[in-house]
């Protein structure tokens, strides 16, 4: 098992992370203008539904302790960022919480959300559990908290599920632009040392955001620009006729390339007040 620390951050002398053909960057995949559809006929990612009017967890909500996690959840204070008294150099900043082996892909066409939750849990745990049994248990929990009419689960199930399992507080939020969404995600990842989630493909699919590169440290200033993000796409290594090949785990994606996948929420199953036309994400909060 790799026992390297989960948090890897540094201050870059030269920010030159956008090398064409670099590991994890997708080159030459055509993204058709048609959106709001599933990835392709055989790639049914969940259609997420509005948060309004969610029922409270049913009596049959699975006991979180029945989910076979790699180890007991860490306490929030065990993963705190640099203390306020720690000197922090100025200049470009990068961090990445991901470690090889944390990734687990979705094991059915409608399990992207529990796969993202499972990957997030692996990132926050000292070990990794990639079992189908665990993913199925997480799916059952997420769906009990926020069911979707197509048999999948909503992003609220992601946020409430991780919170219920003891991985700190999470919430679903929406922002008017990619810039605002990624700025918020980077800040929350930095301040909590926990991964965030992006609802891509107009809300039909889930990405984990485990790190980023920015012009400054979000722990020391709010005046920073995110240049690239580290993502785990649980669709990998599949191919979609609409979205192309998925990037491998821990891909470094320039923010300028995100509009190919991270699009405003628009689901074909109906209107979603509060989400329609917005960039939806799941963020850790203190």
**Which residue is it, tokens 């809300």?**
203
Q: How far apart are CA 88 and CA 270, in angstroms?
A: 47
What's the pLDDT tens digit per position in 62-118? 343 344 444 444 443 333 344 344 445 568 999 999 999 999 999 998 999 999 999
Q: Among 91, 92, 119, which Cα is nearest to 105's?
A: 119
pLDDT digits (tens, 9 = 90+) for 119-134: 999 999 999 999 999 9
Q: Which of 268, 224, 284 is nearest to 34 (CA)?
A: 268
- The pLDDT tens digits for 164-214 are 999 999 999 999 999 999 999 999 999 999 999 999 999 999 999 999 999
pLDDT score recorded for residue 267: 84
Please give the CATH architecture assigned to the domain spanning 1-12+91-286: Alpha-Beta Complex (3.90)
Mean pLDDT for the stretch of residues 229-248: 94
Mean pLDDT to the nearest integer, 29-56: 33
Q: In percent, how much of the chain has pLDDT > 70?
A: 69
């Amino acid at each position: 098992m790799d026992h390297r620390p989960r948090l890897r951050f540094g201050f870059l002398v030269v920010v030159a992370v956008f090398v064409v053909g670099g590991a994890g960057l997708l080159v030459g995949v055509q993204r058709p203008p048609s959106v709001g559809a599933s990835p392709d006929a055989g790639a049914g990612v969940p259609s997420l539904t509005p948060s309004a009017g969610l029922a409270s967890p049913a009596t049959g909500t699975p006991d979180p302790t029945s989910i076979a996690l790699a180890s007991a959840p860490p306490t929030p204070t065990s993963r705190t960022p640099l203390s306020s008294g720690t000197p922090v150099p100025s200049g470009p900043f990068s961090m990445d919480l991901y470690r090889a082996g944390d990734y687990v892909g979705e094991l059915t066409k409608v399990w992207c959300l529990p796969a993202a939750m499972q990957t997030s849990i692996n990132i926050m745990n000292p070990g990794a559990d990639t079992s189908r049994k665990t993913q199925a248990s997480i799916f059952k929990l997420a769906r009990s908290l926020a069911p979707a009419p197509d048999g999948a689960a909503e992003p609220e199930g992601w946020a409430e599920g991780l919170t219920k399992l003891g991985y700190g507080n999470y919430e679903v939020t929406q922002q008017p632009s990619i810039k605002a969404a990624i700025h918020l995600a980077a800040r929350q990842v930095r301040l909590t040392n926990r991964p965030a989630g992006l609802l891509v493909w107009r809300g039909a699919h889930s990405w984990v955001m485990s790190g980023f590169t920015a012009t400054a440290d979000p722990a020391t200033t709010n005046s920073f620009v995110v240049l690239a993000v580290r993502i785990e796409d649980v669709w990998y290594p599949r191919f979609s006729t609409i979205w192309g090949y998925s990037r491998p785990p821990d891909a470094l994606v320039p923010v300028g390339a995100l509009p190919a996948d991270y699009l405003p929420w628009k689901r074909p199953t109906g209107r979603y007040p509060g989400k329609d036309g917005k960039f939806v994400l799941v963020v850790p909060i203190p």
